[in-house]
Amino acid sequence: MSAISLPRMRRGLIAAAAAAFVAAAALIAVMIPQPANAASLTRISDFGANPSNLEMYLYVPDNVAPEPAMVLGIHWCTGSANDFYNGTEWARLADQYGFIVVYPSVTRSSKCWDVASAASLSGTGSDSLGIKSMMDWTIAEYDVDTDRIFSTGISSGAMMTNVMLGVYPEVFEAGAAFSGVPYTCFRTTNGSEWNSECSQGQINRTPQQWGDEVRATNPGYSGPWPRVQIWHGTDDDVLFYQNFQEQIDQWTNVNGTDQTPELSDTPQANWNRTRYGGTGAQAPVEAISLQGVGHNLMANGMAAKALEFFGLDESVEPTSPTVSPTDPATTPTGGPTGGCSAAIKVVSTWNSGWQANVDVTAGSAAISGWKLTWTWPSGQTISSSWNAGVTSSGTSVTAEDVGWNGSVAAGQTRTSTWGFIGTGTAATPAVTCTPA
């Protein structure tokens, strides 16, 4: 469909919240060992029906499993496949567990997913059909295990995850939605891609009504329904917290359970978890409410819980990849003689801040750690960071590796070694790198 621009204030709020998601999500990566590999994010240009001109990117790890599982990683509003790849831990988890990640990417100006039009909500066109084409292509090309297909997403990507599960229940084993809304909640009839009534939590349906929305799209379907994991912050001011319960109502009803949890616990501070239809890690529905947390809810430990919910948390033995594209991160770059160097690379900006990733390059000898220092030109600060120990004093910044990301082979560059969210005007000052 043709996207209609959101009001400037709302788009700015969503952009800031979505970018903050990237920062928090990537904190999880410090828990995952970083193997040296040749795998890289690869653009697939011809994958089948694509009515809304989406882009497809694919990550196949070096140790891809025989008949691998597949995960959709769906980005947030204003984001992209590259942002989701660089800013979340799913590729690193794929390295460890041997599954394939498909990263769809919106090309319309808003960079938001179509979760509003009749075509997308029915699978007859727009984004849902394009993403399904990406999945079909990957299944055929890599002999994917069709009993282990999953979707996850953040914000608009969480909304799109609910759409994909609602439109194609026969395809998915499970999904994990981080700050989303129920399937069809964002439906509009005026061509707009934004539904304020839904975003503000004003659409309150019964579990039966929500479940009927899914069943009506799949009138002849009699197979198992996807399991769903739902995450939401109580202080979400972009997609209001009321949408948390509405999603629980929808997917418990679809899965044939009531809305009384079989298990309630607190796996860590301010995480209130409930499971419906079972007490185990793969219950039909699992919901995690985060007390005092806003739209930016991605934090350390969440990816491991999503992976456990999917049932993909078992490592595989290394195998040869079906496709071995060249990864710029493992290609000699003609870096400095001896020592190391680093560069700040701005990947997105919005009206109240910006996101940057940092590359580290080793010189003629390998390094086992690094310490970076620089001075901001004027007015910049770091509001949050991931995969580095960062300290600031006035305009001076110091960042050090966190162990797994300290090693860089001679003459090679570790791209997106770590990253941060900045305030003020985006800047890329010269960085001094001291090897450990």
230 and 333 housed in the same domain: no
302 and 243 housed in the same domain: yes
205 and 116 housed in the same domain: yes
Cα torsion 398, 399, 403, 409 to 10°: value is: -100
267 and 333 housed in the same domain: no
Residue 251 lies in a domain: yes
Residue 60 and residue 39 in contact, taking contact as beta carbons nearer than 8 Å: yes
384 and 248 housed in the same domain: no
Residue 36 lies in a domain: yes
Domain count, the chain: 2
Which domain CATH number covers 35? 3.40.50.1820
Residue 175 lies in a domain: yes
Last residue of a domain, one of 310, 340, 370: 310
Active site residue 120: no
Residue partners of 263: CB distance under 8 A and separation at least 6? 273, 274, 275, 279, 283
Containing structural domain, residue 371 = 328-435
Residue partners of 418: CB distance under 8 A and separation at least 6? 357, 358, 385, 386, 387, 388, 399, 401, 402, 405
246 and 374 housed in the same domain: no
Listing DSSP states for 56-99 in one string gives: EEEE--TTPPSS--EEEEEPPTT--HHHHHHHSSHHHHHHHH--
335 and 372 housed in the same domain: yes
Question: Which tokens is 139 given?
Answer: 């299944």
Last residue of a domain, one of 310, 343, 371: 310
86 and 183 housed in the same domain: yes
216 and 245 housed in the same domain: yes
Residue 315 lies in a domain: no
Backbone torsions φ then ψ of 63, nearest 5 degrees:
-100, 40
Residue 63 and residue 320 in contact, taking contact as beta carbons nearer than 8 Å: no
300 and 344 housed in the same domain: no
Residue 25 lies in a domain: yes
Please report, in tens digits, the pLDDT of each residue of the chain (436 residues total).
Answer: 333 333 333 444 444 444 444 444 433 333 333 334 558 999 999 999 999 999 999 999 999 999 999 999 999 999 999 999 988 889 989 999 999 999 999 999 999 999 999 999 999 999 999 999 999 999 999 999 999 999 999 999 999 999 999 999 999 999 999 999 999 999 999 999 999 999 999 999 999 999 999 999 999 999 999 999 999 999 999 999 999 999 999 999 999 999 999 999 999 889 999 999 999 999 999 999 999 999 988 776 687 789 999 999 876 554 433 333 433 333 333 335 579 999 998 876 666 677 788 989 999 899 999 999 999 998 899 987 777 888 999 899 999 987 767 888 888 888 766 778 888 889 999 999 999 8
337 and 302 housed in the same domain: no
pTM for this model (two decimals):
0.68
246 and 362 housed in the same domain: no
The span from the CA of 42 to the CA of 172, in Å, is: 23
Query: Of 155, 179, 341, 384, which is the active-site residue?
Result: 155
